[in-house]
Amino acid sequence: MPKTFSKTNPARELVFGDLWEFDPAPETADPKLKKRYDLFINGSFVPPRAEQYFATINPAHETKIADIALADASDVDVACKAAQKAFTGVWGKMPGKERGKYLYRIARLLQDHAREFAIAETLDGGKPIKESRDFDIPMAAAHFFYHAGWADKLEHLAPGRQVAPHGVVGQVIPWNFPLLMLAWKIAPALAAGNCVVLKPAETTSITALKFGEICQEAGLPNGVVNIVSGATETGAAVIQHPLTMKVAFTGSTEVGKSIMRSLAGTDKKLTMELGGKAANIVFDDAPLDQAVEGIVNGIFFNQGHVCCAGSRLLVQESIADEVLAKLKRRIAVLRVGDPMDKNTDLGAINSREQLTKITELVKSGVMEGAEKYDTGCKLPAKGFFFRPTIFTNVSMSHRIAREEIFGPVLGILTFRTPEEAVEKANNTPYGLSAGVWTDKGSRILKMSTLLKAGVVWANTYNKFDPTSPFGGYKESGFGREGGKQGLLEYLKVA
């Protein structure tokens, strides 16, 4: 049997040159956006007390979409008090099966409005419509549906012990999966019987505030969910408010540490879902074409704005050239551009600030001696875009191998033995996730045991499920989200 690939006999590929192009396939449904979004407090949309608003823009065009209310400490105070009142008056004493029915309603309503939410998410955040439509929104609804069923079964979570909700939970979420992160936070909190004050990320508030409309439509009692949009100070007010007994944060490790410091003098219970620098490890017996798809999905999904992104590719030395060649061919056909186009693979970078950070880290990679490759594809004239980029000749000491880039930038390292792969994979302060590609089931289990990471994907990457606990080791945070382990974080155990 001739080998299908060697250096002298490369695999054949389809070369079309510029013979044909995709026609634009824009998504055109109406996202039903408002010109101005107020705070969602105690069941109503209310203007911020200081009457301050900020603009949210479409990162693909740099055009303004809407004005978003900027909550200050006094608005947050009102929200926390509303949540406390809802907790003691209604939600905390409601039988679990009734609470569950509200969550089921929310799940169904999110499904009803799925397309509208997907478009809003893409317009506001820049992610490709195919991802918001096929991943973010359905998965957000799935989280509510999953947790709905837990609401009347909480006693099964801690056998032999009594469980009780914390009361008011303060939650601060990032901009990479705006509605999905909201669902990861709010669904378990409500199922457990808590009330919520949630602060969405500054650049992606729209779907969170639209979620307020869903709460209204579901008839959720006033104050059970409160959404306070704003900036860093708003988030600080939420987590530091004396009424928030539990704080759940998803974001960077740097901010996570500062939150931990700021709450050191309190008894608040914390969960932290922080940064990552995941290794995606490809062994020489891996199904390579599948692995290449996984590498692409691992780092270019959501423009690489993923805390568990497979940003360090570890390839066994014997297949490194072959994998690199296949990878280059694959990324050559990735489509970068209008997030609203159904064929787009990589949409817009979420903000100018993030684009600057990615650009700066990529520069450092070049300066430190790594070899940069990108496809040179055309980028739209306006908006924040970055080409899918891969670095070879990366060493473990390079900044691009140590720091979270949070963009479509992959660093490639090689290894010879499984031990070396484990050593390199674990040589980071982070420990959120890892990928393993091999044909051997026993090797998957062994590698999974040795990798210091909270989630290990074998022959797949960036898979999520409401039933599957997600969260990190080491400086990637503590606590889990999803599954029974995640839900228990929202309960006091006595």
Candidate residues 314, 362, 432, 444; the one interacting with other proteins per rule CB under 8 A? 444
Please give the residues from 412 up to 441 whose contact with other proteins meets the rule CB under 8 A. Answer: 429, 441
Return the number of the residue (218 or 488) whose C-beta is nearest other proteins. 488
Is 307 catalytic? The answer is yes
* 6: contact with other proteins by CB under 8 A: no
Work out which of 2, 17, 159, 219 binds other proteins, going by CB under 8 A: 159
Q: Looking at beta carbons only, is 3 or 463 nearer to other proteins? A: 463
Q: Which of 97, 161, 363, 416 binds other proteins (CB under 8 A)?
A: 161
Query: Which is the catalytic residue, given 27, 121, 131, 273?
Result: 273
Residue in the structure block whose two tokens are 């419509």:
129
Query: Does 145 contact other proteins by CB under 8 A?
Result: no
In whole angstroms, the minimum distance from the beta carbon of 26 to other proteins comes to 29
If one asks whether residue 156 binds other proteins (CB under 8 A), the answer comes out as: no
Rule CB under 8 A: say whether 133 interacts with other proteins.
Answer: no
CA distance 382 to 403: 28
Stretch that binds other proteins, among 3-11, 121-129, 208-216, 480-488 (CB under 8 A): 480-488
Write out the chain in H/E/C secondary structure: CCCCCCCCCCCCCCCCCCCCCCCCCECCCCCCCCCEECEEECCEEECCCCCCEEEEEECCCCEEEEEEECCCHHHHHHHHHHHHHHHHHCHHHCCHHHHHHHHHHHHHHHHHCHHHHHHHHHHHHCCCHHHHHHHHHHHHHHHHHHHHCCCCCHHHCCCCCCEEECCEEEEECCCCCHHHHHHHHHHHHHHCCCEEEEECCCCCCHHHHHHHHHHHHHCCCCCCEEECCCCHHHHHHHHHCCCEEEEEEECCHHHHHHHHHHCCCCCCEEEEECCCCCEEEECCCCCHHHHHHHHHHHHHHHHHCCCCCCCEEEEEHHHHHHHHHHHHHHHHCCCECCCCECCCCECCCCCHHHHHHHHHHHHHHHHCCCEEEECCCCCCCCCCCCCCEEEECCCCCCHHHHCCCCCCEEEEEEECCHHHHHHHHHCCCCCCEEEEECCCHHHHHHHHHHCCCCEEEECCCCCCCCCCCECCCHHHEECCECHHHHHHCCEEEC
Q: Which of 177, 480, 487, 490 binds other proteins (CB under 8 A)?
A: 480
Binding-site member from 71, 142, 299, 409 for other proteins (CB under 8 A): 142
Report the candidate in 311, 355, 247 with the shortest Cα–Cα distance to residue 258.
Answer: 247
Stretch that binds other proteins, among 85-93, 190-198, 216-224, 445-453 (CB under 8 A): 445-453
| Touching other proteins, residues 234-253 (CB under 8 A) | 253
Q: Per CB under 8 A, does 460 bind other proteins?
A: yes
Q: Which is nearer to other proteins, 407 or 469 (CB)?
A: 469
Contact region with other proteins (CB under 8 A), list: 19-27, 296-304, 418-426, 452-460: 452-460
> Nearest approach, Cβ of 420 to other proteins (angstroms)?
18
Residue 273 annotated in active site: yes
71 part of the interface to other proteins, by CB under 8 A: no
Per CB under 8 A, the list member of 102, 135, 478, 490 interacting with other proteins is 478
Rule CB under 8 A: is residue 165 a binding residue for other proteins?
A: no
Q: Does 465 bind other proteins (CB under 8 A)?
A: yes
Residue entry with tokens 């499904």: 111
Pick from 14, 15, 264, 381: which binds other proteins (CB under 8 A)? Answer: 264
Selected range binding other proteins among 117-125, 391-399, 411-419, 460-468, rule: CB under 8 A: 460-468
Question: Rounded to whole angstroms, how far apart are CA atoms 327 and 300?
Answer: 12
**Rounded least distance, CB 183 to other proteins, Å:** 15
Choosing from 17, 219, 265, 376, the residue that interacts with other proteins (CB under 8 A) is 265
Catalytic (active-site) positions:
273, 307
| Footprint of other proteins (CB under 8 A) | 142, 158-161, 253, 256-258, 260-261, 263-265, 272, 274, 429, 441, 444-445, 448, 453-460, 463, 465, 467-471, 473-478, 480, 483-485, 493-494
